[in-house]
Amino acid sequence: MNYKLASFVTSAVGLNDCPSDSLREVAFAGRSNAGKSSAINVLTNQNRLARTSKTPGRTQLINFFGIGEGRYIVDLPGYGYAKVPLNVKNQWQEHLELYLNQRDALAGLVLLTDVRHAFKEFDLMMINWSHESNLPIHVLLTKSDKLKRGAAQNALLTARKQLDQYPNATIQLFSSLQKSGLEGLEAKLNSWLEEEASEPHPN
């Protein structure tokens, strides 16, 4: 897959607004300060494809980026830090759950979490959900440049042990600033997006 050809297609409020031509797609999820937009921009080599902001929580819609015929990268709403009313947060949560549970084209989930304090409540919720749904999940321990090499490797080993009970989960270090871990991410995405689209994951 040539992720550098990615282009914005649409923003969806909910499941009914998602593209109808999708054969396979991978969704990026994470807390609002986990670096989702930065990772997508590095992946696609486009500085402004996904919105980035110094104010966490700016992604309030389900954003679709086309990367080939019937293939999409999906930027899900960030969770946890957006300064919005509670009822709006609840609507985001509802739309997110519907998308995750009913989107047949969803082939895998990339979960981004800060390497310095990984696996908060939202992260564990997503990991458990993917396990129960038999959906593969790939964890990016982001901002690995913030730690020295040894400390980053120790954090990776600790996090990997936490995932031992989840056979559908894989994990790696990632830094958008240094563009490290990009090859591993691309390989994982390719394995999901290049498969035949005849068998959507079971719900």
Domains of the chain: 3-193 (3.40.50.300)
pTM for this model (two decimals) = 0.89
State the Cα–Cα distance between residues 102 and 1, nearest whole angstrom.
25
pLDDT of residue 53: 46
| Residues paired with 106 in a beta bridge | 25
Per-residue pLDDT, 57: 46
Q: What is the pLDDT of residues 70-110, one digit of tens each?
A: 999 999 887 765 566 667 667 767 778 888 889 999 999 99
- From 85-89, 137-141, 181-185, the region with the lowest mean pLDDT: 85-89
Q: Considering just the CA atoms, what is the radius of gyration of the chain in Å? A: 16
Interaxial angle between packed helices 182-193 and 36-44, expressed in degrees from 0 to 180 and rounded to the nearest 10: 80
- Close Cβ partners of 86 (under 8 Å, ≥ 6 residues apart): none
Band of the pLDDT at 48, cuts 50, 70, 90?
confident
Which residue has better confidence, 48 or 65? Answer: 65
Q: In 3D, which of 191, 174, 198 has the Cα closest to residue 40?
A: 174
Give the pLDDT confidence score for residue 81 in this predicted structure: 52
- Token pair listed for 13: 């409020």
What would the two tokens of residue 17 be? Answer: 């607004």
